[in-house]
Amino acid sequence: MNKRAVYSIVAITIMVGLYIYDYFLDEEIKAEVVNEGKIPKYDTNEFFLPSSTTGQIVHHNGYSLSYSEPHEQAEWVAYELKKSHLSNTNHKRPYFEIDHTIKTGAASWRNYKNSGYDRGHLCPAGDRRYTKKAHDETFLTSNISPQEHRFNSGIWNRLEQKVRYWARKYDGVFVVTGGVLKGRMKTIGKEEVSVPNQFYKVLIDNNTGETKMIGFLMRHKDSRKPLYEFVVPVDTIEKLTGIDFFPELEDSVENKLEASGSYKDWSF
């Protein structure tokens, strides 16, 4: 065997070795990122976290979520919105990024391109303006769901603003939100991201002496109706989604609050 052939074999062997090394190193880094997402963060209020029907709960610094692989989005996103979180600071809007903490692989933002749907935030960027890092974290793809633009910028935006009003008035609320991932739905993109027919938002306030809860359920279309017309018992949303929203609450308190469709304790 001549020297040139030997050099070629050695070069190929080195290249294969480097490829194998990089592959396993990359897999190790991926595993570390996924494991980091499993750890509750400093601001994670685990007491109010809902159950997961998917078994895939991920904790970021500013919110937690339960990811549904069949629908390529979160079945819920949960976070505490404190009065101290509210800020008028305007951060530069970043690009959307794939959430690598999702073990099964989060959907790409490219699924939304030319789909006719907005990349609708579940935890709004406007609720996380208190630092640039918290703001930018809301642009992970695990925190978005396909939303019609008029819905996203209309009735849904009005509800998000009302949540901020309550956070200021009641010195903080805990928020759980998502699309109802049930029934026949359209899909977008190569990864077939589901387009929910309905969206929900559930709030609990435990800061004003007496615990109170309220649930909203909206069809995925814009509306000029007042927000209180979308109030439903949290039980209704639980039956639709299969999610147990506040399992850590004492049963008697949980059952009473979730069965009520009253909004009299919340100022509209």
pLDDT at residue 2, rounded to an integer = 60
pLDDT at residue 16, rounded to an integer = 46
Q: Is 22's pLDDT higher than 50?
A: no
Contacts of residue 105, Cβ cutoff 8 Å, sequence gap at least 6: 69
Give the total residue count for the chain.
268
Burial class (CB in 10 A: 0-12, 13-18, 19+), 192: middle
End-to-end CA distance of the chain: 86
pLDDT digits (tens, 9 = 90+) for 208-247: 778 999 999 999 999 999 999 999 999 999 999 999 999 9
pLDDT digits (tens, 9 = 90+) for 99-141: 999 999 999 999 999 999 999 999 999 999 999 999 999 999 9
Give yes or no for a contact between 92 and 125, defined as CB atoms under 8 angstroms apart.
Answer: no
pLDDT digits (tens, 9 = 90+) for 152-207: 999 999 999 999 999 999 999 999 999 999 999 999 999 999 999 999 999 999 87
Label residue 29 by pLDDT band (50, 70, 90): low
Give yes or no for a contact between 53 and 242, defined as CB atoms under 8 angstroms apart.
Answer: yes
| Arithmetic mean of pLDDT, 73-82 | 97
Q: Comparing 12-26, 55-69, 137-151, which segment has the lowest mean pLDDT?
A: 12-26
* Cα 70 from Cα 57, distance rounded (Å): 15
pLDDT at residue 12, rounded to an integer = 57
Q: Comparing 19-28, 95-104, 141-150, which segment has the lowest mean pLDDT?
A: 19-28
* Cα 71 from Cα 220, distance rounded (Å): 16
